[in-house]
Chain A
Amino acid sequence: MLYKKKWPLLIFVVPSLIFMLLFLYIPFIENIKNSLYDMTTIVELPGTKWRFIGLENYKKLLTDTDLRIAILNSFKMMVLTVIFEVGIAFVLAVMVSQIKKLQQVFRTVYFFPIVISATAIGLLFKLFYNYNGGMLNQILESLGKDPVNWLQPSTAFIMICIPTLWSYVGFYFVIILTGLSDISDDIYEAAAIDGCSKFKQVFYITLPMIKPVLMTSVTLAVTGALKVFDLPWVIAPNGAPQGITHFLGTYMYQTSFALNNYDYGSVLALIIVIFGVIVSKGVGFITESREEKEERRRKKHVQRRKA
């Protein structure tokens, strides 16, 4: 290392460290501590103390039916993001990589919804879904059909998922397209000369070669799905109707900041962290397991030979 004098580190490291301690690490620990207390107010008023109640808040988890809905919805959202966000993005990316013209235009257009805030997109779709004169009902009317209440209990969840999924396709599209451009053309040429059709090329060359990129996208999509808040909240605040469109994020917000139930909100926040860790490790495990298995098999083989 070049720099021997250590004192400039004070200036380089300390401000960031203070920031992160103050706003990330200490709050994270405090959140765990809070979950064990009965928080009557957000700030302990002079003369009052929060009561230590141990795992009392965690017991509530087992009987909370709204939470069950929120967890279920969040998991459904994860599955949908993998199928529709990453899936559609993959198909579009493969198609765009095949064509010569307009590549740049498609990239620009597909990516655009990412830079627009989820709040604006939520508001936009609210205009589409509105019962009285919303865009979708205008289409139905012009076809001579009765207007539909799009945010009724049976369809609300899907109606919230559509904009969420739609707005993020472009993100994975660009990531996958970048991955595709790293695959050498020679491989495709060799395959074409051997009589391999375009479809076969996608299955036998493209898919295996961009597997790492796809897995990064899946991890990002799944952990992102766990954190959705803005869009569902704007379209259906408080999990409307009757809490059936709650996700973990919106349920945590409502519990802590609309109902001021801070201690139980802390537990819910922890649940989000735990799910996040499990899910991202899970994706890693599924993807690496095959190679690891092969390696293990190889090692066993070698050991047997030695024996």
Chain B
Amino acid sequence: MYREEKPRNRRPIKIGTIVVYFILIFWAITTIFPFIWVLLNSVKPSAEVLNSSFALPKEFTWGNYENAFSQLNVLNAYKHSLLISCSVTIGVMILSAFLSFAISRYDFKGKKILNSLLVASLMFPVFSTIIPVFRMMVSWKLLNTNFAVILPQIAGNLSFATIVMIGFMNSIPIEMEEAAYMEGANVFQVFFRIIVPLCKPSLSTVAIFSFLWSYNDLFVQKIMIDDPKRFPISTLLERISSQYGTDFGLMAASVALIIVPVLIVYCFLQKNIIKGLTAGAVKG
């Protein structure tokens, strides 16, 4: 029977497969091409970008990158961005692990309310809280500091991260904790020695989406920080596009500078990143 099937199916599949590959590769090119284009043009003088952006660079130059580092202080912006995103990531990881442990392992008054508050806060877009948060930062004199970005971003990611973590913690069997607890370990030993190591997969999911959301976000940065010396990377890029809009080489170089580190990390961690971002989104 198997032999009868094979020749019948062969021909239509082959033509179809070629079309399928053609379309898939076409979309892959639309995805890769813009990034290659920008990398290619970042090593050309601006005049060459204007005239022949498709050709390989005739005159190879690091000048655009030198400009980006000297005029725009990209390194400083990276420093601020990394400080902000790492703090947000660590803050969200610790707080969401604590909170989800309490919700999945304890019974307490107001647990149901807490749960529904968590779900409800997923419906609050950042727009709906930003004006009062901005007012707070002004009155606490935290404007133009990294804290003004870090604190609201932690709060913004926290409820989502907690919901993802609760789902995972509920699936961890309680026997190991029971055994440790009976042996005389206290709650904190149980938490740090047993729960945290077991939760590594979901903690890494939380870390990935908190970091990327924070690193890529422009809205909060733009509102909280208006001192160019303290700009994180997204705000700096936006400033470049409005101020140096005619210097194509510089613009290409600065886009390249923001893409390359992410590209490198993505190459190493792509499976985790894809899983982290999609699993996180679907659960919410």
A interface with B by C-beta (< 8 Å): 1-3, 5-6, 8-9, 11-13, 15-17, 19-20, 22-28, 30-31, 34, 42-43, 88, 91-92, 95-96, 98-99, 102, 105-120, 122-128, 130, 132-133, 135, 138, 166, 169-171, 174-175, 178, 192, 198, 216, 220, 226-227, 229-230, 233-234, 237, 248-249, 252-253, 256-257, 262, 265-266, 268-270, 272-273, 276-277, 280
Q: Are A16 and B99 in contact (CB-based, < 8 A)?
A: yes
> What are the residues of chain B within 8 A of A91 when measuring CB–CB?
23
Q: How far is the CA of A122 from the CA of B50 in the complex (A)?
A: 18
Report Cα–Cα, A111/B125, bound state, in Å. 24
The CA of A216 and the CA of B41, in the complex, are separated in Å by 39
Binary contact track B113-125/A, C-beta < 8 Å → 1, others 0: 0100100010111
- B174 proximal to A (CB < 8 A): yes
Chain B's interface size range is: 35 or more
Which of B61-69, B196-204, B255-263 lies on the face that meets chain A?
Answer: B255-263
A263 to chain B, nearest CB (A): 9
Residues in B whose Cβ lies below 8 Å from that of A169:
27
Tell whether, in the assembled complex, residue B50 and residue A3 are in contact, meaning their CB atoms are under 8 Å apart.
Answer: no
**Could you say which residues of chain B place their CB within 8 Å of the CB of A124?**
34-35, 38, 255
Q: What are 22 A-B pairs with beta-carbon distances under 8 A?
A: A9-B106, A20-B121, A42-B135, A111-B270, A115-B212, A115-B262, A116-B259, A123-B237, A123-B238, A124-B255, A127-B251, A132-B50, A135-B37, A135-B53, A138-B51, A233-B218, A265-B131, A269-B125, A269-B131, A272-B127, A273-B127, A273-B128
CA distance A110 to B270 in the complex (A): 11
Closest beta carbon of chain A to B135's beta carbon, Å: 5
The CA of A113 and the CA of B30, in the complex, are separated in Å by 11
When the two chains form their complex, are residues A273 and B125 in contact, meaning their CB atoms are under 8 A apart? yes
* A119 contacts B131, C-beta separation under 8 Å: no
**In the complex, residue of chain A having the shortest beta-carbon distance to the beta carbon of B226:** A257
Chain B interface, >50% SS class: helix
B:147-184 near A, CB below 8 Å: 151-152, 154-156, 158-159, 162, 174, 177-178, 181
Going nearest first, the 3 A-B pairs with the smallest beta carbon separation are A133-B50, A23-B155, A117-B216
A126's partner among B95, B98, B234, B245 (CB-CB below 8 A) is B245
Q: How far is the CB of A27 from chain B (nearest CB, A)?
A: 4
Q: How many interface contacts (CB-CB < 8 Å) are there between A and B?
A: 274
Do B21 and A99 have beta carbons less than 8 Å apart? yes
* Contact of A107 with B23 in the complex, beta carbons under 8 Å: no
Within 245-284 of B, Cβ neighbours of A (below 8 Å) are at 245-246, 248, 251-252, 254-255, 258-259, 262-263, 266, 270, 273-274, 277-278, 281-282
Contact of A256 among B52, B131, B282 (CB under 8 A): B131
Query: What residues on B are CB-neighbors of A133 within 8 Å?
Result: 49-51, 53, 248
Given A99-B21, A109-B31, 7 more pairs with CB closer than 8 A = A13-B98, A20-B117, A34-B132, A108-B274, A227-B127, A248-B127, A276-B123
If the complex has contacts A16-B96, A138-B53, A171-B278, are A227 and B28 also in contact, measured as CB distance less than 8 A? no
**B219 and A230 contacting across the interface, CB-CB below 8 Å:** yes
CA distance A254 to B254 in the complex (A): 26
Instruction: State A250–B21 Cα separation when bound (angstroms).
Output: 39
Chain A residue at smallest Cβ distance from B21: A99
C-alpha gap A133/B154 in the complex (Å): 42
The reply to whether B278 and A174 contact each other, CB–CB distance below 8 Å, is yes
- Name the B residues within 8 Å of A252 (CB-CB): 127
Q: Specify which of B23, B96, B151, B255 is in contact with A120 (CB 8 Å cutoff).
A: B255
| Interchain CB contact under 8 A, A43 and B139 | yes
- A123-B241 in contact (CB<8A): yes
Q: Are B212 and A9 in contact (CB under 8 A)?
A: no
CB atoms of B132 and A123 under 8 A apart: no
B78 at the interface (CB under 8 A from A): no
Given the interface contacts A99-B20, A106-B28, A109-B32, does A15 sit within 8 Å of B95 by beta carbon? Answer: yes
A5 to B190 alpha-carbon distance, docked (Å):
14
